[in-house]
Every structure is written in C-alpha cells, then in structure tokens.
Structure 1
Amino acid sequence: MQSCNTLGFLTTSQIQRLHSLSGRRNALRILNAIQDEGYLNNFHEGELVWYLSAKGRREIGSEIVRKRSPLVQHTIMRNEVYVTYQPDVFKAEYPVRWDGRELVADAIFRKNGVYTFLEIDITQSMTANEKKIVAYRELRESGKWQAKYGAFPTVMFVTTSEHRRQKLRGLCGDLKAEVMTFNDIKP
C-alpha cells in the first residue's frame, strides 16, 4: 500500500514487477484480496490501475487523496520509468530554482550516483516542450546545478509515438538527452 501512496496510481503489472509478485494471476489475487478488505480501489485504463481508498489512506496515515483524472496516464508513464529503473532516489514534480528562474521536471531520479531529469510527453504542444528544453539549456549554461551536484543530468523524455520522439530529438540538439517511447521502456 505504501507504493500506491508514494507513486499514486500503479498498474497491476507495475505492482507485480515492483514487489516481485510471481505471475499475473497471483498479483491479481493479492491485489483483489487487499481491495476486498477495503484498502485499494481500481479502474480500468488499458489494464487495472490501483490506488489507495480512504480506508487505505487512514491505515498508513496518508492524507493524499487520489482521484481519476486526465493526468492518470501521465502518472502511469512516469511510474513506469520508476519501476523499470528502480532508482535510489525518485522525486516527482521536482522544482529547480536558479537566478530567479524555476523549472519543474516531471521527476528527477538518481541511480548509481547519476541524476536524470524526466519529462513525460503525452499531449503537450511542441512549443511547450521547446520552452522546457530551452530552460534546461539555460540551467546547464548557468553552471548552478553542476556547482552543487556535479555533472549536468541527462534529460529523459518519454513520449507516445515515433513521430513525437523524432520531433523531441530534433529540439534537444546539443542537450544531453535520451528520448524514447513508452513502448521502449515497457517490458
């Protein structure tokens, strides 16, 4: 239940991999039992998506209320990166401030001492993506991040189509970036 609290919405397959639950049927048996106790809710979004119920939140002392919204797919894609990479540190909606500016990454994670900024691109306009890429360049060029943490992170974009991937690659230019589709990271 703690992983649902921390990550918000998780698919059955994400929970299965995150908690090393052998077999889909076994994972569903366990999740359905927890749901029958009233601790979890679910809905269907390609596959079952799980989140804490009011009783589940009370049980673990969480005050974060999750409701189905258009941002669920964004959260699922962000969490897929977490489940796939299993980083040491993972912070969603991470604000970076420098010289009176602010950039909010969809997430930042650290694995083996190396930081990566994560951006999830589903329907955001390419103009908005370009502004964010420019902000990452300005942050890199300011040297503020490097002075505090060392090397400037890779910016990882996860998007929905090959067409969007190619556009993002073109926009990234000299920025150290990794651009992939959601299908590239799913097992």
Structure 2
Amino acid sequence: MMQTQKWIQRQEKILSRLDDLTYATREQLQITEQLGGSRNAHRILFRMEKEKSISSVRMERKVYYLSNKGKERIGSNQGELKRSWITHTLMRNDLYIKLGMPDTWEVERPVTWGNNKLIPDARFTRNGIHHFVEIDNQQTMRTNEDKIKLYKDLSHVIFKQFHHKPVLIWYTLSKVRREKLKEACTKAGVKHVLH
C-alpha cells in the first residue's frame, strides 16, 4: 500500500513537471525529478507510458509529453502541442537546467509597457535582478535585432522602476549567430549573456 502511494506521488510530480516543461527528454526529467540512473529513469518512464499517463515521440532521442489521460489526471490546461515546438522547447529546458532551475521561471509570459509588448521565451528574477531568456532556434537575425531594440527600451523602464539593468540571456547552438547576437546586444547597450 505504501509503495503504491509513493508511486502515485512520483508519477504526479513527473506529470506536473511535464506540464511545466511541455516536452522533455529522459535526461531532462532525470535531472529535474531526480530519477537516479538511466536504467531507473527509463523503467519509470516506460511504466508511465504503458499506463498511458505520458506519450512520446522519437526524434534523435525519445521526447516525452503529457497524454490526454495525464492532462486529466493533474488538471492540466495545456492546449494542443505542435511537433514544430519540440527543438525550441528542449533547448529552453536545457537552459533552465543549466541556469540552476530558477524558482521564479515563467515561460512565454508577456511583458508590456507603454504601447510595447514582448513575449520572452522565459523570464525569472534572481537576487532581485530581472532576467529574460530568448532561444535562438529558427527566427531570423532581423527578428532577433528587432527584439534587442525592444529589450533596450525595456531596460530603461526596468532601470527607472527597479534601479537595475535586466539581463538578456540568449541561447543558440550556432557560433556565427552567437557572435552576431553579442555584437547586436553590445551595440544596443543591452546587458546580456550568451549560452
């Protein structure tokens, strides 16, 4: 009986994490949910998939997401998922883990000021400092440059209100684009970090 209760609690924690992450690899769930070694994590996720709480799709590696049964079980409001989001989402999850899984992490929450609006891929505060995350996956450099201009304007607003400059965190897999993003942020005077 005790073992069953523990299993149910573990499942619900994993389901809730998948609700937050949208898509996740075994490795990401292993770290975020402390599932132990690869064999143990595989065994847990295999059982959950067999029980139809989660589903998966095979890409370079297996990627997990909430099934309709899993969504119902935890009362998720997650809408329809698109395969085109997978790479972007996995990159955002990798950065979330790399940044130490900030407690205040919020995904795609709009920021508005005046007539302007930005939807960062994620945002969080650490030590009272605002951080905004942008994942450079498929958008054009022109789009990135336009966003940097908006972040420059937002930096002034945050500085006036909170007396600090926010940090813009870019995550890209391309060395060439990393250099271009660094150059654009430096030119605009936006405090930034590149991963």
Q: TM-score, normalised by structure 2?
A: 0.86
More helix by share: 2
What CA distance in whole angstroms lies between the structure 2 residues aligned with 1:67 and 1:96?
A: 23
Q: 1:95 aligns with which of 99, 104, 110?
A: 110
Question: Share of identical aligned residues, percent?
Answer: 34
Q: 1:31 aligns with which of 17, 28, 45?
A: 45
RMSD between aligned alpha carbons? 1.4
Deviations 1:82-130 (A, max 9, x none): 2222102111112111111111111102234332100000121111100
AA at the equivalent of 1:90: W
Shift, 1:149, TM fit = 3.8
- 2:91 is paired with a residue whose SS is helix
Shift, 1:147, TM fit = 4.0
- 2:62 is paired with a residue whose SS is strand
Where does 1:85-164 land on structure 2 (aligned, <5 Å)? Answer: 85-141=100-156, 144-164=157-177
Structure 2 gaps of 5+ residues are 1-14
Given that 1:93 and 1:105 are in contact with CA atoms closer than 8 Å, whether structure 2 keeps it comes out as yes
Structure 1 gaps of 5+ residues are 181-187
AA at the equivalent of 1:179: L
Q: Which residue pairs with 2:3 in the alignment? A: none
- 1:116 is paired with a residue whose SS is strand
More strand by share: 1
> Which of the two has higher C-alpha Rg?
2
Shift, 1:66, TM fit = 4.2
Q: TM-score, normalised by structure 1?
A: 0.89
Deviations 1:112-163 (A, max 9, x none): 433210000012111110000011011123xx32344442221000012111
